[in-house]
Structure 1
């Protein structure tokens, strides 16, 4: 997209470029684009409303929105599910890659790196958020205690680090480094361990500000790297660059991640998911009991995905029996 003639005219104020801070157009980035030949659009114009809405929240120009919608529609059909995080990642990748390349990359991420993350019920992400919580307690016990004391749970702040691969969190210079250093390697290794390394590095770098914050809003500001905070001044990207560069300092090879995922599921999520499933069944039974019966009525199919069935699928994907 960056080589489209009217790209900058149309997209200068695009949401996807909110954290660009004049990094693009970068000569080094433009040189990495294979060619400037655009693929011919063959997609349908009938996109689901959520996909259309996400495209409008990513790009301004109709041409760019249409390209993103085509990619997301293709992925939704292939994955059988959709998650808003997909629009963040695909939108970022489209800046420098063709739609077909983006689809292939997203396919690999979905199948081998972010397994179970991009679904309507991302149980796999919730599990990994609590795996990180366990790691945080080991590596940064003061931060862990501070967050727990303020009732800040990992699934509420790790989502944009994990499911969106930091798109919308890191400034573009650091974000390109993040993808070059970690995401590309993760596709080769078929592993998402780099996410835990990055998150630990981030916590270490914001440690002082985090521990000195007494208000929940301020704590979340640090966790999302809010550019309005002096620590994350857009004119000084050194901090976010350092976070990415030092992620590999964390050697996590001593941890059995299969065991950790089993552990946090049993301790943190199983009871909650079972309770949610029971509540859903009780609500449906209550509605059925007061519904007016009719000889012409046909049994309605279950429209809400059964939570525990989805959970079993995610567990299999994560190799958890």
Structure 2
């Protein structure tokens, strides 16, 4: 085992205890047969995000209180070993405390990072992904408006007939980009393909997510146009019937030429602003308390 791994993969009993862990659902045996390669590739992500491995002696004692039940539930949905779950809970709790919000997609990313890095290093990586404009700023909020906005930016770059077809199928960007973007495809792509995706994501940031979006709908345009209904199209979106990653390299120039800030403003105004306003306004609406008095007229 490579000495450069400080995460759960360095545990001698990892495969015995975690071999069927949910985080490995899409591994299909690739990681066990490519462990050293995967560790080397994961270590190469750190310079891209400007993170050096943590040198602190990490305190992995469980929190005195597990905190929100969602952290326990998400840790249980990620690992099998109770000690590993407790480390995961602590990492997710610290993330919520520092970032001010939490979303399950953050849990996916934290779980994958914990395979390779100690929790203090994972927290440094999550901090950059959460805070840097290059990566996933605002994507990991409970109401992930920023992620939805970027989905609509991407949708606006599609061919008009594809945009119309997505609308007919009821495929709104916010219904699928959360897993593609905020969850960086961890629970969608087989690991043999996922690591190619992650290598490019850590190098190029969210611009690669935009390229991936455009490439997917270019590659699978015919399948989307032929989809009979929403469930059939969703199988494609979830990669159940499209198991190979689309090549995103052809869209590098397209994305580089975008005024992303301007596109985000337009996408928010056109696709989300009124909906969000209406939902929030509704919180102030006076409700009939339902009490009827005997002298009220029918």
TM-score between both structures, scaled by the size of structure 2 = 0.83
TM superposition shift of 1:257: 1.2
Q: CA deviation at 1:265?
A: 1.3
Distance 1:142 1:280, change over 3 A: same
**2:198 matches 1:198:** no
Q: Paired residue for 1:28, among 23, 37, 41?
A: 37
The match for 2:296 is none
> Unaligned stretches of 5+ in structure 1?
187-191, 233-238, 291-321
Deviation at 1:258, TM superposition (A): 1.1
1:206 Cα deviation from its structure 2 partner: 2.3
Query: Structure 2: any 5+ residue segments left out of the alignment?
Result: 1-7, 44-52, 292-298
The answer for the alignment partner of 1:13 in structure 2 is: 20
Please state how far the C-alpha of 1:168 moved relative to its aligned partner. Answer: 0.3
**8 Å CA contact 2:169, 2:233 repeated in 1:** no
Task: Trace 1:302-321 onto structure 2 (pairs within 5 A).
Answer: none
User: Offset at 1:116?
Assistant: 1.0
Does 1:146 find its partner at 2:147?
no
Out of 249, 269, 273, the position equivalent to 1:270 is 273
Q: Counterparts of 1:261 and 1:33 in 2: how far apart (Å)?
A: 31
Deviations along 1:47-99, whole A, 9 cap, x unmatched? 21001001101111112211111111111111111111110000011111111
SS in 2 for 1:119: coil
CA distance in 2, matches of 1:264, 1:127: 6
Q: Provide the rounded CA distance (Å) in 2 between the counterparts of 1:260 and 1:11.
A: 43
Change (3 A) 1:151 1:30: closer
CA displacement, residues 92-134 of structure 1 (integer Å, 9 cap, x when unaligned) = 1111111111100000000012111111221111211111110
CA distance in structure 1 between the partners assigned to 2:289 and 2:259 by the alignment: 46
1:52 aligns with one of 72, 82, 104: 72
Deviation of the 1:203 alpha carbon = 1.8
> Is 1:165 matched with 2:184?
yes
1:224 offset after TM fit, Å?
1.0
SS of residue matched to 2:262? helix
How far residue 32 of structure 1 moved from its aligned partner, in angstroms, is 5.9
Rounded to whole Å, the distance in 2 between the matches of 1:277 and 1:53 is: 29
Correspondence 1:86-105 to 2 at 5 A: 86-105=106-125
SS in structure 2 opposite 1:24?
helix
Which residue of 1 is the match for residue 157 of structure 2?
135
In 2, Cα distance between equivalents of 1:270 and 1:104? 33
| Number of residue pairs aligned between Structure 1 and Structure 2 | 266
Distance 1:32 1:166, change over 3 A: closer
The match for 1:67 is 87
SS at match of 1:95: helix
* Cα distance in 2 for residues equivalent to 1:130 and 1:103: 29
- Which residue pairs with 2:46 in the alignment? none
CA contact (8 A) 2:148 2:177 kept: no
SS in 2 for 1:135: coil
Q: Counterparts of 1:171 and 1:23 in 2: how far apart (Å)?
A: 9
- Over 3 Å counting, the alpha-carbon distance change for 1:31 and 1:270 in structure 2 is closer
SS at match of 2:287: helix
Q: Distance in 2 between matches of 1:145 and 1:117?
A: 26
1: CA distance between counterparts of 2:150 and 2:16?
Answer: 40
Instruction: Determine if the alignment matches structure 1 residue 257 to structure 2 residue 260.
Output: yes
Normalised to the residue count of structure 1, the TM-score between the two structures is 0.77
